[in-house]
């Protein structure tokens, strides 16, 4: 009751993030304290896969939000479409009649094809943090009653599990020094495929990386400051 979209400064935090097209402050405001906390948390955790939950519609909204598909699509557009349809198909099957159809009968939309926004968390995570984040709109009612939450869980939990399971698929491995075997924070670039920051990094202290992607084969170039780059093909 009484929920508002903006923070105490009346600023919409989902328009306040750095944007890959519109720059560091797309809404003309300084980063809000809540946004700074989220950005710092993402830098500490280095998420590989995440979800941004919303109400007000019923649809899986995949990147980009700042461009429509005629302007630019992600390097992994086909992967995004597969994951998004897997989510929406399952939600439609287990939800009531007409659920997840109000924006598009498929339950899926490219964000910018629905409507373009700048400064959203989805594009920030995908572009600047090399994460894979999707936006889920799960209720046409913007502020549904708490008594309906269990129903939304029943409609969506299998889809949640499907999405989380995608973190197990793709390419993963460890980057390490060939002489000392010490783990390295290195760049993982899918040759002739990656674009617009879709490449990822391995993280310390483990040196492991996780790259969700469609079926290959792929050629991957590994690089890090102070090391010769190495390309491995046929993955």
By the 8 A CB rule, do 23 and 15 touch?
Answer: no
The reported pLDDT for the residue numbered 160 is 97
Residue 204 confidence (pLDDT): 94
Tokens of 60: 């899986």
pLDDT tens string 92-123: 999 999 999 999 999 999 999 999 999 999 99
pLDDT at 127: 98
Q: Are 222 and 232 in contact (CB under 8 A)?
A: yes
Q: pLDDT digits over 209-231, tens only?
A: 999 999 999 999 999 999 999 99
Cβ within 8 Å of residue 60, ≥6 positions away:
84, 85, 87, 88, 100, 107, 108, 109, 134, 135, 136, 137
**Helix or strand (DSSP H, E) at 61:** strand 57-62
> Angle at CA 19, nearest 5°, toward 38 and 193?
105
Per-residue pLDDT, 2: 80
């Amino acid at each position: 009751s009484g929920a508002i979209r903006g923070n105490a400064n009346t600023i919409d935090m989902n328009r306040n993030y750095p944007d890959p097209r519109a720059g560091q402050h797309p809404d003309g405001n300084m980063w809000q304290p809540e946004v700074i906390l989220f950005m710092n948390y993402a830098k500490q955790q280095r998420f590989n896969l995440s979800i941004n939950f919303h109400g007000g519609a019923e649809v899986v909204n995949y990147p980009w939000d700042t461009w429509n598909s005629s302007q630019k699509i992600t390097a992994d557009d086909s992967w995004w479409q597969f994951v998004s349809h897997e989510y929406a198909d399952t939600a439609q099957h287990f939800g009531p009649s007409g659920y997840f159809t109000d924006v598009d009968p498929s339950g899926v939309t490219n964000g910018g094809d629905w409507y373009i926004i700048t400064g959203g968390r989805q594009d920030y995570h995908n572009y600047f943090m090399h994460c894979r984040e999707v936006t889920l709109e799960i209720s046409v009612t913007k502020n549904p009653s708490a008594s309906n939450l269990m129903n939304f869980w029943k409609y969506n939990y299998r889809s949640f599990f499907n999405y989380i399971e995608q973190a197990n698929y793709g390419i993963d491995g460890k980057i390490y020094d060939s002489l000392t075997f010490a783990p390295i924070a290195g760049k993982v670039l899918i040759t002739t495929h990656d674009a617009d920051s879709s490449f990822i990094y391995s993280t310390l202290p483990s040196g492991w990386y996780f790259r969700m992607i469609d079926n290959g084969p792929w050629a991957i170039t590994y690089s890090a400051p102070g090391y010769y780059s190495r390309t491995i093909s046929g993955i």
